[in-house]
Amino acid sequence: MDMLTSRTKASILDLYKYRFVIKQFTIRDIKVRYSNTYLGYLWAILNPLFTFIIYIIAFGLIIKIPTSEYNTDYYIVLLCGIFIWSYFNQATDTISSVLIHNITLLNKVYFPRMTLNLAALSVSSVDFIISTIVLIILFLCIDMFHDTNLLRLMFIPLLYVGISTLSLGIGSILAILKMKYKDFRHLVPMIFQALFFISPIVYTPSLVSKDFIFLYNLNPFVGYLEFSRWIFIHDAHLDILHIIYSLLVSIVISILGLYFFNQNERAVVEKI
């Protein structure tokens, strides 16, 4: 236990000493993403804006779907789910690919491999901030906010921290598995597709069969979806226990994921 504690402290100190490297990797990845494009960084705004507008047109004007739990249009309920799912999916997928995408660099120079995970999370966090601003502006344009909603916006950082913690843990585990077993590179998209549909993103909790409600509530992402809708929708219900459960599970998964990554990253890189 003492050895484990010492190694953990050393890893944290290494990350602090290499914080400049995290910043440089973050800047590099953002520049690479928008290099050789005519609109450049403007795509960071246009991508979420276009996505949100498509959902508004499709499910706000063309298709009308009733929502029994919420006294609002379906497209608003949907956007609150798509908004955080996009961040979770992007962040986790990006973190899970850091070793694969940087294998040449890893074999040339030493630096704490976890800096790549944190840089990948930072890049996705920039997209999350932009998407949040775009979504708030859209909701302001359709005049859906009440005073209570504006106050609830203060909880967005907590929502971000929870999802980021979960993404970091899962992404770190998948980063090792993708390197050790190439089949995981094909399996991961299917896993996320399944997770998308077992989470109440495109549907509401009332549609879940009572026979599966216990298994449904074990999914930590359910709490974050409920939290997101409570933040943006005036009369949305919030179960504090669901949020606490999601945060605790996210912390546990993150700790396990970072430990698993630190224990295996050197071995999997040396085998390449």
pLDDT digits (tens, 9 = 90+) for 210-256: 888 888 888 999 999 999 999 988 888 888 999 999 999 999 999 99
Structure tokens at 249: 């599970």
DSSP-derived letter for residue 234 is T
Residue range of the domain that includes 192:
2-270
pLDDT digits (tens, 9 = 90+) for 151-191: 888 999 999 999 999 999 999 999 999 888 888 888 888 99
**Tokens 């630190």 — which residue?**
262
Per-residue CA distances from 231 to 47, 161, 180, 226, 266 (Å): 23, 15, 40, 9, 42
The answer on pLDDT for 145 being more than 70 is no
DSSP string of 69-111, one letter each residue: S-SS-HHHHHHHHHHHHHHHHHHHHHHHTHHHHTHHHHTTS--
Backbone angles phi, psi at 43, to 5 degrees: -65, -25
CB 115 within 8 A of CB 18: yes
CB 255 within 8 A of CB 169: yes
CA–CA dist 200, 179 (Å, integer)? 31
For the chain, how are helix, strand and coil distributed in percent, rounded to 5? Answer: 80, 0, 20
Greater confidence (95 vs 59) lies with 95
pLDDT digits (tens, 9 = 90+) for 122-142: 999 999 999 999 999 888 887
What's the distance, CA 79 to chain centroid? 15
pLDDT of residue 156: 94
Neighbours of 235 (CB within 10 A): 12
Count how many domains the chain has. 1
Greater confidence (61 vs 151) lies with 151
**Tokens 């997770």 — which residue?**
195
Structure tokens at 8: 């953990």
The answer on pLDDT for 120 being more than 70 is yes
Structure tokens at 173: 């585990």
